[in-house]
Amino acid sequence: MKSFIVMQGETYQEERELGIIRSPQKDSGGQVPHSWLRMKEVNEGDRIFHYVKGNIVAISVAKTGCQVISKTLSMESHKYSSDNGYSVELEYHELEEPLNVHLNFNEILTLLPIKYSPFQQDGNGNSGYLYPCNEQLVIKLLELISDLNIYRVDVEQLELAIGTVRRTERNTIIPMIAEMESEVKLKIRKGQKKFREDLLPLWENKCALCDIVLPDLLQASHSKPWKDSTHNERIDPYNGILLCCNHDALYNKGYIAFDGQGRLHISASIPEDDYLIYNIYQKKKIARYEENKPYFKWHKKNIFH
């Protein structure tokens, strides 16, 4: 199961009534925007969050994979064109309480990928159509949606308890959220387990920087984070390094990094006088693998500061 965020705006009402999402194949200049081409990645059973004018208003389940249709709706003019387009049939489940992205953006921001993010740094939606939604972001969105639509009980609901129960039983969003959250957490857990099991022997079961060997203190650290990685990159043991809890935190937060040769780089935000406290040493070199090189370079460019 994959998840996506679709930016619908004025097209939402019509597409909801038709039970679809759809996009052209090419823009007016003959180019193929990534957010339209991504329609081809949708398969039956995938989940889609629907973003409309600042709010996530629905979650849907794909009833089909992507289909090519002879006519599609132009995202710019809202008029039909003669060009072929993409369409996916969906089962829409509207939220009783939409999730306002701006109001919750501080919780969402850290889970957005660097590339192909559905939202800008100011919390506004990007102008494309269909964006990937990584599993960590899915869980956060489901938590926020649940707080609004499941767990919040106001005074009126308490006074009308029987009516509330009946309304809840009819609310299809509740079992969907529960199933979706369970599937996503299982996917993450399996991926992280495989990643750790394959990573440990590469680093001789000890921290690459300080040689700590106590298993409970060792973390399988991704160089390219889960939110920015493809499925294969997430479970690739070379996309990581084995570190103790202290060095793992420094690595994940960008205070240390490794270059393509395995040399340690330390952020200027850590005073040199504190190196001993953190057990880090400038110019220390680790015995990295050649396959680590592209991941180390990505981390140094995008995470290190």
Task: Give the closest residue to 37 by CA, choosing from 22, 51, 25.
Answer: 25
What confidence tier does 235 reach under pLDDT thresholds 50, 70, 90? very high
Say if residue 106 is in the same domain as residue 11. Answer: yes
- What CA–CA distance (Å, rounded) separates 199 from 214? 15
Two structure tokens written together for 198 = 């394959």
Look at residue 26 in the predicted model and tell me its pLDDT: 87
Say if residue 89 is in the same domain as residue 145. Answer: yes
Q: Is the sign of the CA dihedral 242, 243, 245, 247 positive or negative?
A: negative
Mean pLDDT computed over every residue of the chain: 90
What confidence tier does 164 reach under pLDDT thresholds 50, 70, 90? very low
What confidence tier does 158 reach under pLDDT thresholds 50, 70, 90? low
Q: What burial class does residue 62 get, using C-beta atoms within 10 Å of its C-beta: 0-12 exposed, 13-18 middle, 19+ buried?
A: buried
What would the mean pLDDT of 158-166 be, rounded to a whole number?
Answer: 48
Say if residue 250 is in the same domain as residue 119. Answer: no
Two structure tokens written together for 229 = 């990685």
- What CA–CA distance (Å, rounded) separates 229 from 232? 8
* Position 93 pLDDT exceeds 90: yes
Look at residue 28 in the predicted model and tell me its pLDDT: 81
Look at residue 241 in the predicted model and tell me its pLDDT: 98
What would the mean pLDDT of 84-88 be, rounded to a whole number?
Answer: 93
Say if residue 140 is in the same domain as residue 242. Answer: no
Look at residue 232 in the predicted model and tell me its pLDDT: 95
Say if residue 141 is in the same domain as residue 269. Answer: no
Look at residue 74 in the predicted model and tell me its pLDDT: 52
Say if residue 204 is in the same domain as residue 148. Answer: no
Question: Does the residue 80 lie in any domain?
Answer: yes
Say if residue 214 is in the same domain as residue 146. Answer: no
Say if residue 14 is in the same domain as residue 139. Answer: yes
- What CA–CA distance (Å, rounded) separates 192 from 195? 5
Residue carrying the six token digits 């009946």: 166
DSSP letters spanning the chain: --EEEEE-GGGHHHHHHHTEEEEESS-TTS---HHHHGGGG--TT-EEEEEETTEEEEEEEESS--EEES-EE-TTT-SEESS-EEEEEEEEEEEEEEEETGGGHHHHHTTS-SSS-SB-TTSPBPSSSEEE--HHHHHHHHHHHHIIIII---HHHHHTHHHHHHHHHH-THHHHHHHHHHHHHHHHHHHHHHHHHHHGGGGTTS-TTT----GGGEEEEESS-GGGS-HHHHH-TTSEEEEEHHHHHHHHTTSEEE-TT-BEEE-TTS-GGGHHHHT--TT-B----GGGHHHHHHHHHHT--
Q: Is the separation of the CB atoms in 3 and 135 below 8 Å?
A: yes
The CATH code of the domain that includes 77 is 3.10.590.10
What would the mean pLDDT of 238-263 be, rounded to a whole number?
Answer: 97
Question: Does the residue 87 lie in any domain?
Answer: yes
Two structure tokens written together for 55 = 């709010």
Look at residue 132 in the predicted model and tell me its pLDDT: 97
Question: Does the residue 281 lie in any domain?
Answer: yes
Q: What are phi and psi of 70, to 5 degrees?
A: -80, -25
Say if residue 8 is in the same domain as residue 147. Answer: yes
Give the pairing of strands 55-62 and 85-100: antiparallel
Two structure tokens written together for 102 = 């701006």
Say if residue 137 is in the same domain as residue 20. Answer: yes
Say if residue 134 is in the same domain as residue 214. Answer: no
Instruction: State the Rg of the chain over Cα.
Output: 23
* Position 80 pLDDT exceeds 90: no
Average the pLDDT over each of 19-33, 181-195, 248-262 and give the range with the smallest value: 19-33
Question: Does the residue 171 lie in any domain?
Answer: no
Domain region containing 105: 3-152
Q: Total domain count for the chain? A: 2
Question: Does the residue 193 lie in any domain?
Answer: no
Beta bridge partners of 48: 4, 60
Average the pLDDT over each of 74-83, 84-93, 150-159 and give the range with the smallest value: 74-83
Question: Does the residue 277 lie in any domain?
Answer: yes
- What CA–CA distance (Å, rounded) separates 65 from 40? 8
- Residue finishing a domain among 137, 152, 167: 152
Average the pLDDT over each of 54-68, 145-159, 263-277 and give the range with the smallest value: 145-159
Quick: pLDDT tens for 97-135: 999 999 999 999 999 999 999 999 999 999 999 999 999
Percent of the chain with pLDDT over 90: 81
Look at residue 168 in the predicted model and tell me its pLDDT: 45
Question: Does the residue 226 lie in any domain?
Answer: yes
Question: Does the residue 270 lie in any domain?
Answer: yes
What confidence tier does 48 reach under pLDDT thresholds 50, 70, 90? very high
Say if residue 146 is in the same domain as residue 208. Answer: no
What would the mean pLDDT of 19-32 be, rounded to a whole number?
Answer: 90
